[in-house]
Amino acid sequence: MAYLGPVYYGILALIEEDEAARKAALSAGEAILAGDVVAHNHLLFRRDAIETSLLLHDWDEMERHAAALESFVRPEPLPWTDFVIARARAFAAYGRGRRDAPLERELQRLQIEGDRLGICLPAASATESPGTV
């Protein structure tokens, strides 16, 4: 489970339709992530946990997973993780009802940055979030 366990649970959380099953998958993945796992688990699990939190409209969890991802990559930041983190924070703000010009500019910036980086996130987020970022 140390090689792909959290990745598996992150994907499971995304595809489950039952909210309790989604949350259980996230808990299981995070429990494994707390152990000695390969680094890609942190990146991919947190991305999927952020997407699942978006689907659940759980803005606190979305920001918590973004902060955990940010903490993990702090020694070696990546453009991809910077994007995922900024997107999570912007969508959480939007989900909480923020509709100001700075957030609109950030969402537009993220759209351009995502296109520039060739980042493709799960399609489910496009139906639950502002714009097409």
Q: What are phi and psi of 129, to 5 degrees?
A: -135, 170
Question: Do the domain assignments include residue 106?
Answer: yes
Question: Do the domain assignments include residue 88?
Answer: yes
Which residue segment(s) compose the domain that 23 sits in? 5-128
Question: Do the domain assignments include residue 133?
Answer: no
* Average pLDDT value for the chain: 92
Predicted confidence band at 133 (pLDDT cuts at 50, 70, 90)? low
Question: Do the domain assignments include residue 55?
Answer: yes
Is the pLDDT at 127 greater than 80, yes or no?
A: no
What's the alpha-carbon Rg for the chain, to the nearest Å? 14
- Indicate the SS3 state at residue 38: coil
CB 82 within 8 A of CB 119: no
User: In the prediction, which pLDDT does 100 show?
Assistant: 98
Instruction: Say how many domains are in the chain.
Output: 1
The mean pLDDT value for 113-121 works out to 86
CB 84 within 8 A of CB 47: yes
